[in-house]
Amino acid sequence: MEAFRVLPGVGPKTAQRMAMHLLERDRPGGQKLASTIQQAIDEVGYCRRCRTLTEADICALCESPRRHDQLLCVVESPADQLAIEEAGGFQGRYFVLHGHLSPLDGIGPDAIGLDVLEARVAEGQISEVVLATNPTVEGEATAHYIAALLAEHGVTLSRLAYGVPMGGELEYVDGGTLSRAFNGRQPFSSE
Amino acid sequence: MEAFRVLPGVGPKTAQRMAMHLLERDRPGGQKLASTIQQAIDEVGYCRRCRTLTEADICALCESPRRHDQLLCVVESPADQLAIEEAGGFQGRYFVLHGHLSPLDGIGPDAIGLDVLEARVAEGQISEVVLATNPTVEGEATAHYIAALLAEHGVTLSRLAYGVPMGGELEYVDGGTLSRAFNGRQPFSSE
């Protein structure tokens, strides 16, 4: 029971239910869970090129000959990378920071791999870096830091558009977002 | 109790609690509520110019000499207008549709005041119309219809930017929004 509590969102009651369930009703399932976790921990590491999670030395996405080398998307986490991949449309490569700058917690540029990122950009193949860090204060600060770092390398820098999310109601959109959506308004035609 | 159920979000239990509270503990409050509702229903009508709710013939915002006449923002409801006003930054005038086109429900162009809107634009003072209908399928369809309607009047048409809302996490943003935020990405610099 104690061990299950390392999982996010699992408190004492849930941990107890999980443990009891495996012991009383599904011992083979428990066996499989244990060995899969062990295997994942042994085998999943970080891609040497983009730092995402992978079982290989270089991940499939970095290896793929069908992705564009000129476009690099910088994200905070493998989950963000997955969200962008699922949304579709992006054809470039990724770079995963595993966090954002947070000097108070001792997380500096090297801890989020900015040295690796700079070396990657210095190779000269990349023409545009999309800074897709989270639209939070920390993500924004990290984007600014990276922009300053890469400024001398002559790449185009861009950031995801801020605006109203699709399917929402204006009435419930926060003021800051609404005012950015207003300032960033786009030409519109009936076609 | 029956009467309270006309309010949105009030079911039988809440209606009972409200009625009992007024009768047992706050009769003067109930008196005031009744007379305020009566007064509001008698006196609040629609602005002749922008169709928002107002006690006057023409609302304060349409009368104000400090707003720009060249910029007109079209919204679906007075609540949306309020949200944009609270966000600040917009200095133009408004036009309130009170809904969106919905042919299946018999809501056509005239029911949302598009004849009034077209006449307003035909006056010639307006140079840009911001179509701030909701980022929903219906709101988008209504924006397209209005764009077609106003095309011949030679005004600039624009629409609020779609994108990621401020303060969110990319991981939880839906795919459609993420892909629009990606396509609408903006140049970024470290300043």
Token match 């007064």: residue? B39
**A30 in a structural domain:** yes
**B10 in a structural domain:** no
Rounded to 10 degrees, the C-alpha dihedral B71/B75/B80/B86 comes to 0
Distances (CA, A) of A114 to A63, A102, B74, B184: 21, 13, 45, 25
Please determine, for residue B171, whether its predicted confidence score (pLDDT) is greater than 90. no
Averaged confidence pLDDT in chain B? 92
Task: List the one residue out of B47, B63, B67, B72 whose CA is nearest residue B126.
Answer: B72
Q: Could you report the per-residue pLDDT of A78-87, keeping only the tens digit for each?
A: 999 999 999 8
Residue A55 β-bridge partners? none
What domain range includes position A134?
Answer: 66-159
Task: List the one residue out of A120, A132, A191, A129 whose CA is nearest residue A160.
Answer: A132
- So what's the pLDDT on residue B191? 65
Cβ-defined contact of A166 to B156 (cutoff 8 Å): no
**B188 in a structural domain:** no
Please determine, for residue B54, whether its predicted confidence score (pLDDT) is greater than 90. yes
**B12 in a structural domain:** no
Residues of B whose CB is below 8 A from A151 = 189-190
* ipTM of this complex: 0.76
Q: Could you report the per-residue pLDDT of A155-188, keeping only the tens digit for each?
A: 999 999 888 888 888 888 888 888 888 888 888 8
Give the distance from residue B94's alpha carbon to the nearest chain A alpha carbon, in angstroms.
Answer: 14
CATH number of the domain at A16, please. Answer: 1.10.8
Tokens of A76: 């905070």
What contacts B26, CB < 8 A, 6 or more positions away?
A: none
CATH number of the domain at B72, please. Answer: 3.40.1360.10
**B96 in a structural domain:** yes
Alpha-carbon B7 to chain mean position = 20
**B54 in a structural domain:** no
B93 close to B50: Cβ distance less than 8 angstroms = yes
With 0-12 / 13-18 / 19 or more C-beta atoms within 10 angstroms meaning exposed / middle / buried, residue B119 is exposed
Cα-flanking dihedrals φ and ψ of residue A73, to 5°? -110, 120
Whole-number Å distance between alpha carbons of A124 and A118: 10
**B132 in a structural domain:** yes
A1 close to A16: Cβ distance less than 8 angstroms = yes
B133 close to A134: Cβ distance less than 8 angstroms = no
Tokens of B58: 């023409």
Handedness of CA B43, B48, B52, B56 (dihedral sign): negative
Cβ-defined contact of A169 to B87 (cutoff 8 Å): no
**B45 in a structural domain:** no
My answer on whether A143 and A96 are in the same domain is: yes
The mean per-residue pLDDT over the stretch B65-76 comes to: 95
- So what's the pLDDT on residue B1? 86
My answer on whether A151 and A108 are in the same domain is: yes
Helix (H, G, I), strand (E, B) or coil at B72: strand
Cβ-defined contact of B135 to A165 (cutoff 8 Å): yes
- So what's the pLDDT on residue B36? 95
Please determine, for residue B61, whether its predicted confidence score (pLDDT) is greater than 90. yes
My answer on whether A86 and A129 are in the same domain is: yes
Give the distance from residue A186's alpha carbon to the nearest chain B alpha carbon, in angstroms.
Answer: 5
Cβ-defined contact of A151 to B80 (cutoff 8 Å): no
Tokens of A79: 């989950």
Orientation angle between helical segments A27-43 and A12-25, nearest 10 degrees: 120
What is the total count of domains within chain A? 2
